[in-house]
Amino acid sequence: MQSAGKRAHGTAVAETRGESSQQPAASVARRSWSRPLLLLLGFATLGVLLWEVNAQDLLARFVALGWSAPLLLWPYALIALVDGWAYSFTLPRNGVRRPPLPELVMIRLAGESVNTLTPTAYLGGEPVKAMLLVKRGIPTASSTVSVVVAKTALTVGQVVFVLLGVMLTLERFDVVRDGDVLFVALCAGGAIFVALLVRWQQRGLFVKVARIAERVGLRGARFQRFASVAPDIDRELGGYYRTRGGDFAITTGLHFLGWLLGTVEVKVFADLLQYPISWRDAFIIEAISQPLSLGSALIPGALGVREAGGVAIFGMLGLDDSAGLALWLLRRVREAAYNGIGLLYLMYATRRAATT
């Protein structure tokens, strides 16, 4: 009887293990199907837009670019330079040799290319940035802190930029007569959000993440390395916010400047397409498009969603739909060019590290 009970217990354990092993497999299968479906949905959305918009107008706008087409790349070059400069204020001040500004720009481009091309809610490229900083001699804890602080500052700058865009949109449609009071209220809400975000990061964020990861069954050498360095990351992250508030403010301000330069890109693209728009409309277009990109973060490159959002924003402002679609397609071309540069640098840096 006792041996029969043991056999029954062993069978139950085996069935339980079998079920637990099937569950991750089913989860992986669902993920493997969901990504192609989302990508297919993006292509379908883009196809519908191309069908609905006047194709002749669209083609005429592209032909009108002519030899001025390379000018499409310069606004984002300026944005990348400003964002790389902002990145330098998140790195350790003493004890390590900081990478020069051109290399910081390339590291950011490499990480952002992964963020854009993978459905990881614009977070998949952050470990890539940290890895590249480690290869340049920055300690693991400091590299991770740098990435977290830079992402936080980028988000804060984006929030302020979007709030300004909302205010200008409401003023443009006479929803509010004087947007100053509204903007102050929105900024107060944004300040509370930033304070809570920083406070959350100072309360042992990475140790908590390591504990949660261990509970869900993550194992292996990489996890063990992360768990061992998590207390150092938390300690250094808290120290950054306590002692380097000025650097964080500069980083946030520079990233906000980068978002503002996105307005310049919209204006330049519209002018090159021979469809000039006002600076206010360019600001609104760039600001209101940001939540659309974030809302479609699971679709690789937000394919189709950005274009549909751009056409919708142009229509809302009473502008030509074909110009809106043309502008966003040109941004795809620019994005592809800089993603290619980022990926090439990633391959170069990885090979260089492997040979040294």
CA triple 194-198-202, angle to 5 deg: 165
Encoded tokens for 167: 């205010």
Query: For the chain, which residues make up each domain, given as ranges?
Result: 67-273+280-296+330-355
Q: How far apart are CA 314 and CA 300, in angstroms?
A: 23
- What pLDDT score does 28 carry? 42
Which residue has 């990861």 as its token pair? 213
Written in H, E and C, the secondary structure of the chain is: CHHHHHHHHHHHHHHHHHHHHHHHHHHHHHHHHHHHHHHHHHHHHHHHHHHHCCHHHHHHHHHHHHHHHHHHHHHHHHHHHHHHHHHHCCCCCCCCCCCCHHHHHHHHHHHHHHHHHCCCCCCCCHHHHHHHHHHCCCCHHHHHHHHHHHHHHHHHHHHHHHHHHHHHHHHHCCCCCCHHHHHHHHHHHHHHHHHHHHHHHCCCHHHHHHHHHHHCCCCCHHHHHHHHHHHHHHHHHHHHHHHCHHHHHHHHHHHHHHHHHHHHHHHHHHHHCCCCCCHHHHHHHHHHHHHHHHHCCCCHHHCCHHHHHHHHHHHHCCCCHHHHHHHHHHHHHHHHHHHHHHHHHHHHHHHHHHHC
Q: How far apart are CA 52 and CA 126, in angstroms?
A: 37
Q: For every one of its 356 residues, what pLDDT tens digit does the chain have, with 9 covering 90 and above?
A: 444 444 444 444 444 444 444 444 444 444 556 656 655 665 566 566 666 666 666 667 777 777 777 888 999 999 999 999 999 999 998 777 889 999 999 999 999 998 887 766 566 788 899 999 999 889 989 999 999 999 999 999 998 899 889 888 888 887 766 656 766 777 777 778 777 877 878 777 788 877 887 777 777 777 777 778 888 888 999 899 989 989 999 999 999 999 999 999 999 999 988 889 999 999 999 999 888 766 555 666 666 678 888 888 998 999 988 888 888 888 888 999 999 999 999 999 888 766 66
Amino acid at site 13:
V
User: Per-residue b/e over 288-309, b at no fewer than 16 CB within 10 Å?
Assistant: bbbebbeebeebbbbbbbbbbb
